Chains A and B, each alone.
Chain A
Amino acid sequence: MNSLYAFAALLVLALVARPWIVDALAAPVVRTVATVFVAICVQALPFLVLGVLVSGAIAAFVSPAALRRVLPNRTGAAVPVAGLAGLALPGCECASVPVARRLIGQGVPEAVALTFLLAAPAVNPVVLVATAVAFPGEPGMVVARAAGSLATACVMGWLWQRAGRAEWIAARVRTPAPQGGNRWAVFAESARHDLVSAGGLLVVGALVASCLSVLVPASWTAGLADDWLLAVLVMAALAVVLALCSEADAFVAASLSAMPLVPRLVFLVVGPAVDVKLVALQAGTFGRAFAARFAPATFVVAVLCGLAAGVLVLGVR
């Protein structure tokens, strides 16, 4: 029996069992989780589609030689360039994973592609404007967020250049797209393939995030206003768990007005760099060995960079 029959059987079964499924989802808490789950999927899928169109275009139309001409020869110098290039892709984190993957496939050094992966969702005009709107009267938040995120991306790039090992990234990522032949066919097939594989992983991330965000945080943020350092850690953990779109997280941070400002900044720096749906996407795209090392390292670096940027720009408050 092949998967097409299995798929058809699944659909028939779902239709027949619909009354029971609806009953099972009738409990209020399950309905809330289901709503948040669908919301995250519906919110993120258009960005993922944008990302796979860009990644497909890179695979089909941008030759490895052309990329080498654009980037500085020394990897160490190319890292900050990649960080600033993040300004050009106004998407959120889901879009940048397939793009970074295809960049590596087309021969861009891994450290450079990973810097782009971390910078693109955090340092782009849409996100910075959203942050300014969410924190009226606190222009320091925008500056500190841009600085903290850019620092996180560059530090991770340089760290990978020194300590990263090529074998941590799954071998399939490094195979360039076939040259010659019909470019449009390569484009459509690359985009379709990236969409199907990344989309499934996005669903895993959305499922985990929706369960955690509905079930966990109600009491987490209460009573932390006095313990500044604990507040930093809780907000960092919350950023991972909630998996908010980087264009929306500033509004949530702004609404937690009982919190000191720097922990909320750490929330904004960590969120676009590490969260549960992003880790799922990275594990599926670059391999588990990669995600198991990259995600924890990024978390630590992002917390430290967020703290440093916050204390320097905003002071201890």
Chain B
Amino acid sequence: MAFLSLVGLVCSGCDLTGDAEAAERVIWRGRVLSASLPRPQFTLRDASGGRFVFDEETRGRPTLLFFGYTSCPDVCPMHFGQIAAAMRELEGEFEDVRERVRVVFVGVDAPRDTGERVRSWLDHFDPSFVGLVGSPEELQVAQRAAAVPQATRDPGGSDQAYTVSHASYVLLYTSDDQAHLRYAFDTSSEDWVHDLAHVLRGGWRSS
């Protein structure tokens, strides 16, 4: 007991819950944002056309948010392949991981990203992932609310074959309804398993 009090004294600045694991330092694999971002308020449509109020639907839950497009051959499938693999692996420790963690993909390419197409794109990775679509104006509002760079159609190509520039990273909101971390597109499934397991066990802490 004397030892524990000593630890308490030494660690008086830490958020010590008494649980040894919680006192363990977390070195996040994601990039820690210099200023956290609040869970954004925006409304889009889900694949079946229903209104999806992002902050209400996801409040209090760990949530991954990504703005991409379904014709994206490189960055988007890389992110989602790794996230899907991580979810499968996390199922071992957290059986209900798909209820606890929401993974949200917003299709920013309004002309081509229909609800149906976003749904079938996501089903390729994990049917539990949420797909959202909207008008160009609604998508702009959503990206502004999330404080990510606005997606734009790249010059060149044709109306059937063009590329889109968009935010390259995934934001992770934790149960405090803030995003403290973002993930570049070379994040591996192992990195996701590491960070999500910490978030599921203890929520966000700065280190």
A binds B: no
Binding site for B on A (CB under 8 A): none
Binding site for A on B (CB under 8 A): none
